[in-house]
Structure 1
Amino acid sequence: MPAIETTALTKVYGDVTAVDGLDLTVRAGEIFGFLGPNGAGKSTTIALLMDYIKPSHGEVKVLGSDPQADVRALHNRIGILPDRFSLYDRLTGEAHLDYAIDAKGAADDPKTLLSQVGLTEAGDQRTGKYSHGMQQRLALAMALVGDPELLILDEPFTGLDPNGAKKVREIVYNVNEQGTTVFFSSHVLGQVALVCDRVGILNGGQLVAEGAVSDLRTEAGIPDELIIETTGVPDDAITAVESVDGVVDVERDNETLVVSTLRMDNRRRILRAIEEAGTTIETFSLREASVEEIFTTYAGE
């Protein structure tokens, strides 16, 4: 049973279609990244999943249930970190967690949750004194109350320094290893390839691509680069490399060759072609197309 499944999901506001015929499947137990430029419809989709707003057309299934049928019971199985969350400046971090635990009727220990997000020493501090990163992690701790089956994170990396982003990644890994499905939207693309099993790219309210990052890289036809340091680059070597299947460009910079190829599985043939042309290879490295390049191909600049 998928953790999330939508069929022709549509949300219209007047003459604006925020989500347009969305067919989306998120498998149980995976980490799924939901990407898109600002205004693509990501937050609207999350609001539809949580039944904060009603769809204009289409169907939604979350953890096998219709959110409109029994939203309270479903919310008890879901943890959510919204994009625009609010904390009470005068309450401590531990008090926020007590409130979230009571609201869900859960039996969590606030101190354990604080430790889980790296806020052990700040639990008795008022959140008005928290940095943005600390507030983000506290809101994430609140989302973890009740050991949710599905964790929905809307822009969890926004405004975090590298240490904060690393901590969020570790939390995502840990809860996923315990069986929780993680669905998060983000425009911090550098974090996506580090975390996700699969991604979906939303643009103009429509899903324009879906799959593993490696598969989307191949489907987008974005070349990878093989960077080769040699003892010399005769013209024969360049001609030989250009004839290898999948190679789309070869650039020479002194004794360095940069080979752009649509088939990274042919790198042995590329290296062999250089050596057979009488050139010694000192070192080589690979540079795969980045998530940013994949995103731009599907969603524009």
Structure 2
Amino acid sequence: MPALTISDLTKRYETETAVEDLSLEIETGEVYGFLGPNGAGKSTTINILMDYVRPTTGDIQILGYDPHDDLVDVHQRVGILPDRFSVYGRLTGRQHLEYIIDSKGAADTPEKLLARVGLEGAIDQQAGEYSRGMQQRLALAMALVGSPELLILDEPFTGLDPHGARAIRDLVNEENERGVTIFFSSHVLGQVEMICDRIGILHDGHLISEGRIDELRSDAGVEATVSFVVSDLSKRLVDAVDSLDSVTGTTTADNRIDVQVRDDTARIDVLATIESAGGTVETFSVREPSVEEIFTAYTGDR
């Protein structure tokens, strides 16, 4: 059974459609990145999943439950880190955790949960004195109460420095190894490729593409760059490489030629052409298209 199924989900307000005909399925144990610019409909979708907002049309199943009809069952099994949450300024980190532990009837301890997110030294500090990044970590600790089967994280990297972002990635990986399904939204694209099995791209309320990152690279038509350091880099050699159908462009500097290629097989063609033209490859490196480039290809001028 999939951990999460969304079928034909639409949310309309009076003059705006936030999400339209959204359908996706997330398998148990998967790490799924839900990407899109601000205003794409990511948070609206997550609010509907947790029954904070009611959909206009559509069906949802979370771990086999309908969040509208089985809200208590869903919240017992799901950990949620909402976007733009607020802490209770006068309560300590410990008191925040105690409240969630009591509400779920969980056997967790605040000490262990806050240690997992690096806040053990601030456990009895008022949360109003926490930095934005510390508040984000506190919210993540609250999401972990009760060993959830599904973690829903809305913009989990907001307000975090590189060290904090790495801690979040490590924790996501730890939970996933435990068998937890992870569904998270983000517009911080640099973090996504490191942890996701699949990603879906939401734009103006529509899911415009979905798949593994290598599939999206191929479908988006963005190109990899292969850099060769070549002895005897002649004009004849460069022209021969440039004439290949699978090559979209070349640039040179000293003995290096940077080649933009459409697919993986083109790299072999380039290497063979260099050698046929009398060059000897000393070293080479590959730069794959980034998630940012894939995202721009799907959400830019299209």
For the superposition of Structure 1 and Structure 2, which TM-score range results when normalised by the shorter chain? Answer: over 0.9
Q: Secondary structure at the match of 2:289?
A: coil
Take 2:106 and 2:245, find their aligned partners in 1: how far apart are those partners? Answer: 59
Matched, 1:116 2:128: no
The answer for the alignment partner of 2:181 in structure 1 is 181
Stretches of 4+ moved more than 3 A in 1?
242-245
Contact 1:251 1:258 in 2 (8 A): yes
Take 2:169 and 2:245, find their aligned partners in 1: how far apart are those partners? Answer: 38
The residue type equivalent to 1:223 in the other structure is E
> C-alpha deviations, 1:93-145, integer Å up to 9, x for none?
11110001001111111111111111122112211222211111111000000
Q: Secondary structure at the match of 2:193?
A: helix
> Considering only aligned residues, what root-mean-square deviation do their CA atoms show, in Å?
1.3
Matched, 1:152 2:148: no
| Alpha-carbon offset, residue 254 of structure 1 | 3.0
The answer for the alignment partner of 2:61 in structure 1 is 61
| Alpha-carbon offset, residue 52 of structure 1 | 1.0
The residue type equivalent to 1:8 in the other structure is D
Contact 2:176 2:182 in 1 (8 A): yes
> C-alpha deviations, 1:138-181, integer Å up to 9, x for none?
11000000000110000010121100100000110000100110
Q: Secondary structure at the match of 2:60?
A: strand
Matched, 1:91 2:81: no
1:15-26 matched pairs, under 5 angstroms: 15-26=15-26
Give the % identical residues.
55
The answer for the alignment partner of 1:279 in structure 2 is 279
The residue type equivalent to 1:61 in the other structure is Q
The residue type equivalent to 1:94 in the other structure is R
Aligned length: 301
Between 1:166-175 and 1:233-242, the stretch displaced more is: 233-242
Matched, 1:129 2:124: no
Q: Secondary structure at the match of 1:227?
A: strand
The answer for the alignment partner of 1:193 in structure 2 is 193
The residue type equivalent to 2:23 in the other structure is D
The residue type equivalent to 1:24 in the other structure is L
The answer for the alignment partner of 1:74 in structure 2 is 74
The residue type equivalent to 1:239 in the other structure is D
1:287-298 matched pairs, under 5 angstroms: 287-298=287-298
Contact 1:247 1:263 in 2 (8 A): no
The answer for the alignment partner of 1:107 in structure 2 is 107
Take 1:232 and 1:22, find their aligned partners in 2: how far apart are those partners? Answer: 55
Take 1:159 and 1:116, find their aligned partners in 2: how far apart are those partners? Answer: 18
Take 1:265 and 1:196, find their aligned partners in 2: how far apart are those partners? Answer: 25
> C-alpha deviations, 1:230-286, integer Å up to 9, x for none?
223213322332344522222222321111101123323311221221112221111
The answer for the alignment partner of 1:241 in structure 2 is 241
Contact 1:201 1:210 in 2 (8 A): yes
Contact 1:114 1:141 in 2 (8 A): yes
| Alpha-carbon offset, residue 90 of structure 1 | 1.6
The residue type equivalent to 1:300 in the other structure is G
Between 1:115-124 and 1:14-23, the stretch displaced more is: 115-124
Take 1:58 and 1:92, find their aligned partners in 2: how far apart are those partners? Answer: 40
Take 1:257 and 1:244, find their aligned partners in 2: how far apart are those partners? Answer: 14
The residue type equivalent to 2:296 in the other structure is T
Structure 2 spans left out of the alignment, 5+ residues: none
Take 2:113 and 2:53, find their aligned partners in 1: how far apart are those partners? Answer: 30
| Alpha-carbon offset, residue 20 of structure 1 | 0.3
Take 1:138 and 1:163, find their aligned partners in 2: how far apart are those partners? Answer: 15
Take 1:256 and 1:22, find their aligned partners in 2: how far apart are those partners? Answer: 46
